[in-house]
Amino acid sequence: MAESNYTESSIKSLSPREHIRLRPGMYIGKLGSGASADDGIYVLLKEIIDNSIDEHSSGHGKRIDITIGEDVVAVRDFGRGIPLGKVVDCVSKINTGAKYDSETFQKSVGLNGVGSKAVNALSSYFLAESYRERKMKQAIFAKGELDSESRQQKTDEKNGTYIEFTPDEKIFKGFRYQLPFIETMLWNYAYLNTGLILSLNGKTIRSENGLKDLLENNLSGDILYPIIHLKGDDIEVAMTHGTHYSEEYYSFVNGQHTTMGGTHQGAFRESIVKTIREFFKKDYDASDIRASIVSSIAIRVQEPVFESQTKTKLGSQNMGTKGPTIRNFINSFIKKELDLHLHQFPETAKAIQQKIVASEKERKELSGIRKLAREQAKKVNLHNKKLRDCRAHLNTKHKLANESMLFIVEGDSAGGSITKTRDVNTQAVFSLKGKPLNAFGLSKKIVYQNDEFNCLQSALDIEESLDGLRYNKVVIATDADVDGMHIRLLLITFFLQFFPDLIRQGHLYILQTPLFRVRNKKKTIYCYTDAQKEKALDKLGKTAEITRFKGLGEASPDEFATFIGPKMKLDPVTMNHLHNIDELLTFYMGKNTPDRQSFIIDNLHVEKDLVEAAS
């Protein structure tokens, strides 16, 4: 083995800007192109908005305007504005800011003086303007380096800060902002800051009832009793029980959406169980108490400790240096306020108890079925070829876990082609056998009795909860024809019916595959639309060969390398504008009703309509 030349010249010192650009993941998590809600371009936006939110929380500024263009993002707040003499330092010098002064920002989100500097360093263009007392200062940067700086000058602008930036395309390759992800982010800010007005490209987002509005706007079906809304110093809670199967939590710390939970969410789940057991004086199973719960908790903590710069999981144990533990604080609040509410509203208490008893009965009925299903799943995994696994899984510490994905394909033909060309480190393949069952209206018992669903559930490892999910992305990869679309709808129905959190947490995607292959002797172009096909013909000549893909099985393994490689096109399945899953599934996947027939007739487009629309 050759000996490396390790000398003084091997030792390098990077500037903070260089380090951010070299190791962006340390500051903003994963990069991505914008297809996932946790991709880096959204973290960049959030870091800037967080500063504006902290101003509002401190009593300065009631409005924040966000403008999303094709590549340029702008955020304007009406707070105090950055002190003019420190504009350059505050957006470019790491560990610089006012949040080290606990008197200025008591319970803010950002405490490390990193956020806006990371945005600056990872942007090809970054502009900062501050307005204070009819004076303004501007600074423009490129990849974190100062390009120009204005002198202080007069202005008619109201006090506040204006930030404009373009993510660096060399780092965020082919990035594209998805407005639904941003809208969800802004709604969360609105719920936690009642009365604050946020504007997204001119659309107003505002909440007057906080977490109660959050639950009402995100309910996925009917609820069993009116939402319980409790508020105290540094804590707000909203909860109810629905008719779905999973537990659903929205947790926040100092305005930050902690999507991975943390000490506060764990304490909240524990305190609900403890309080309800004591209220009914019965030792109910925790899973029966929490089954079908929909809830949200927001707390404010002095100097919170998060487990990463992206702040998705709280690690703090205490409310502050001199405060109680988070666990004791939440337990004390829930025990007092929830117990009082249940005494004041006996009908709510009765509905909760009935739900617990029903969950207990179903759990016991399913226990035997589950045992048989597990045994069957083990046999299936050992002896058939439904699942071709990969090496990285979400529930391991594998360095590629965040990139792991499972392709759900129809049939062995497509499964074979995709298996031959996939990345065995990160990409697994699950082959369906024909069309799956329409799961709408069925009980969870069917999941264990249906071989296809039982094997899929086992492959994902989501029987108990999403905590064991083995893949970060679950990708539906069906043919681009009527049958493929039908299978896609049946799979989405299955996940909506039994595992809505898989969609809610941003794990479900649709693989977009090309409709046409246009090629001549020198070049091949894959086209996803008729318009792209026509452009390809213009480029390669009208004599080029055109192939219409009827199914994924027709694509060769070499072609699959294009479809599922670095330029893979994934569309996220979201629930951002879905307020009632039951209502949606009833309409589209329920019995063939006159309403649905009328809808199909009114929205049917025949070839003649499409030609006229294009002309």
Instruction: Give 105-127 pLDDT, tens digit per residue.
Output: 445 554 444 678 889 999 999 99
Phi-psi region of 7 (alpha: psi -120 to 50; beta: other; left: phi over 0): beta
Can you give the pLDDT at residue 607? 42
| Nearest CA-CA partner of 186 in 34, 295, 42 | 42
Q: What is the pLDDT of residue 381?
A: 54
Which element (helix H / strand E) includes 400? none
Beta strands across the sheet bearing 545-548: 524-527, 516-519, 545-548
Check residue 603 and give its pLDDT. 61
- The Cα 55–Cα 63 span in angstroms is 10
Distance CA 152, CA 145 (A): 20
The pLDDT value given to residue 260: 79
Q: What is the pLDDT of residue 90?
A: 87
Report pLDDT for 484.
82
Q: Which CATH class is domain 211-361?
A: alpha beta
CA 264: distance to chain centroid?
20
Output the six-digit token pair for 427: 């990409």
Backbone angles phi, psi at 553, to 5 degrees: -65, -20
Low-confidence ranges of the chain (pLDDT < 70): 1-4, 95-114, 220, 308-311, 321, 373-385, 393-401, 413-414, 550-551, 553-554, 576-588, 590-615
CB 339 within 8 A of CB 331: no
CB 183 within 8 A of CB 189: no
Please give the single-letter amino acid code of residue 5.
N
CB within 8 Å of 304: residues ≥ 6 apart:
107, 111, 253, 254, 256, 314, 316
End-to-end Cα spacing for the chain: 68
Q: Do domains 16-205 and 211-361 have the same CATH topology?
A: no
Give the tokens for residue 191: 């719920």
Classify residue 494 by burial, with Cβ atoms within 10 Å: 0-12, 13-18, 19+.
Answer: buried
**CATH no. for 366-614:** 3.40.50.670
Provide the pLDDT for residue 385: 61
Closest to 238 in 3D by CA, of 337, 149, 326 = 337
- 0.75 surpassed by pTM: no
Residue-level pLDDT at 610: 39
Read off the DSSP letter of residue 3: P
Nearest Cα neighbor of 52 from 32, 81, 30, 91 is 81
Tell me the C-alpha distance between 469 and 490, whole Å.
Answer: 21
Q: Where are the domains of the chain?
A: 16-205, 211-361, 366-614
Tell me if 266 sits within 8 A of 312, measured CB to CB.
no
The H or E element containing residue 251 is strand 248-253
What is the structure's pLDDT at 606?
A: 47
- What is the CATH class of 16-205? alpha beta
Which residue shows structure tokens 């594998």? 398
The DSSP symbol for 565 reads S
Using the Cα atoms of residue 203, residue 206, residue 211 and residue 212 in order, give the sign of their dihedral.
negative
Name the DSSP class of 258: -
